[in-house]
Structure 1
């Protein structure tokens, strides 16, 4: 017998209160789910657009200057917004933020360097392989072979990657290699996020992580170029501000706070839109050509991401329930 029926038998007033409280919580959850979906989808659009903006900027200033300024601005902006939260700061937040910020630094340095030598579309699609690499890395850590659906997804993703990166002479563009290495770093970062960032203040963690990225990339820039270049070119600052405000401060904070209101399956599907957004923005903003190889390769990777993530997320949800 359902709880509402038992309550009606015991006391109508209690049942009435429980019924409307349940309805209220239900509709509140639905509204939060819708809000989370649209906010994260908007953030994924920003992520996809960063490839085009970054490609223009790194043609004028060096990679490390761009990254350092971008992430320091993002961390300062968040520090101002969440200034009242710093009383909750702990050593755990500090070391976890530095650790994951260091890994994220490696990913962004490799990715931004690779964008200088490849197209924004290719960079977007290859970076999308992070959702394919995650189950592979987890399988290696757990010493278990990937499941059948994961193997199918990997084969499809490799086929799509080949269409995107292999040229007429079967040579791989050096930019594609850098972006692929960046994707491994980002996949590792994604796995550690789920394991380490628990029971700590999300906003303070994001601030620490982004500030760490800004400092590390700045130090690398000083070592390699002996300076941090600041250009007055509007295209550079347009890219820096866009990436700092929307793709960094907005998206990382939104993910930390809003992802809890939607299922992991839904999050995976939303994230799968990033490479498609990258191609669309590159076509509209940079006038990059969309070839048949790009379309077929991108489609294969997109299908692979969906196969890998949906099966993986469904299993996780069943075990949790």
Structure 2
């Protein structure tokens, strides 16, 4: 049992590492192509990459490959609905993130994005879910951390940070949407479909709004490829496999390490620096993230 948990924890660790490095790829990509171009192309690459992954899992299960995975019409409809809804929300979230990361540092973007873990319980109030005292405390600590990250000493607000905060809200909504449909359908297939939807929805904006030049695409192809194969394809698969062996609380804590990896990646690869004020805010946000994962006390 412990061996399985260690294996699952390592999978989630590498998933968080890949996602943390992906912030660098997104930042570099934002210097050359627009948000719809970057996310549209990486989503389509991720969808194509997941096709052999689905085939591999079907083979492990001893069944023939099928894009639907079932002959049940209701399950097929749930898969289509879940993929489309998740794809729409993911398009909004990832586009906001890509726009915002072009106006802030990789490290701050990583910490602000990971606030989705704190925001999810608040969205749960809409469907009458209980928010614990620890979760409310985590929201307060996160708010203080966000103040130090986003508000400068002369009380000006960083535009990019606010866009990333909006993106965190949509990623929280994305998590809730996935929770709704993942119990009904195959997770990897739904991921494949949502990436396909995200890519298709981005195409009109690419051709009619951004129209990247071949020179720009030549400069951005490596970050797009990394984000498509590593972030969308491999990391998501590692998350699916890892969470089979690790409980959801430990899994969330390990995955939230992407925010820490994003800071180190920004410093190591891009030479980005955070002020002491911003570092203090990141520490508070990470503390809030960990606090939000603690189970409530049993009565």
TM-score between the two structures when normalised by the length of structure 2: 0.89
- What is the match of residue 86 of structure 1? 67
- What is the match of residue 96 of structure 2? 110
- What is the match of residue 179 of structure 1? 164
TM-score between the two structures when normalised by the length of structure 1: 0.83
CA distance in 2: counterparts of 1:264 and 1:201, whole angstroms: 18
Matched, 1:120 2:101: no
Matched, 1:140 2:119: no
Matched, 1:68 2:40: yes
- Which structure has the larger Rg? 1
Question: Offset of 1:75 from its aligned partner?
Answer: 0.6
Identify which of structures 1 and 2 has the higher relative contact order when contacts are C-alpha pairs closer than 8 Å and 6+ apart: 2
**Preserved contact between residue 268 and residue 310 of structure 1 (Cα < 8 Å):** no
**Preserved contact between residue 79 and residue 185 of structure 2 (Cα < 8 Å):** yes
- What is the match of residue 14 of structure 1? none
**Preserved contact between residue 72 and residue 210 of structure 1 (Cα < 8 Å):** yes
Structure 1 unaligned residues grouped into runs of 5+: 1-28
Question: Offset of 1:82 from its aligned partner?
Answer: 2.6
CA distance in 2: counterparts of 1:307 and 1:111, whole angstroms: 24
- What is the match of residue 207 of structure 1? 192
Give the counterpart of 2:27 among 44, 52, 55: 55
Structure 2 unaligned residues grouped into runs of 5+: 56-64, 71-75
CA distance in 2: counterparts of 1:228 and 1:285, whole angstroms: 25
Question: Offset of 1:35 from its aligned partner?
Answer: 1.6
- What is the match of residue 35 of structure 1? 7
Aligned pairs for 1:267-282 within 5 A: 267-282=251-266
Instruction: Name the CA shift for 1:172/1:72 in 2 (closer, same or farther; >3 Å).
Output: same
Matched, 1:216 2:189: no
RMSD (CA atoms): 2.0
CA distance in 2: counterparts of 1:267 and 1:298, whole angstroms: 20
Instruction: Name the CA shift for 1:132/1:58 in 2 (closer, same or farther; >3 Å).
Output: same
Matched, 1:266 2:250: yes
- What is the match of residue 287 of structure 1? 271
Question: Offset of 1:279 from its aligned partner?
Answer: 0.4
Q: Deviations over 1:271-299 (max 9, x none)?
A: 22111111000000000013211221111
- What is the match of residue 5 of structure 1? none
Question: Offset of 1:231 from its aligned partner?
Answer: 4.2
Question: Offset of 1:255 from its aligned partner?
Answer: 2.0
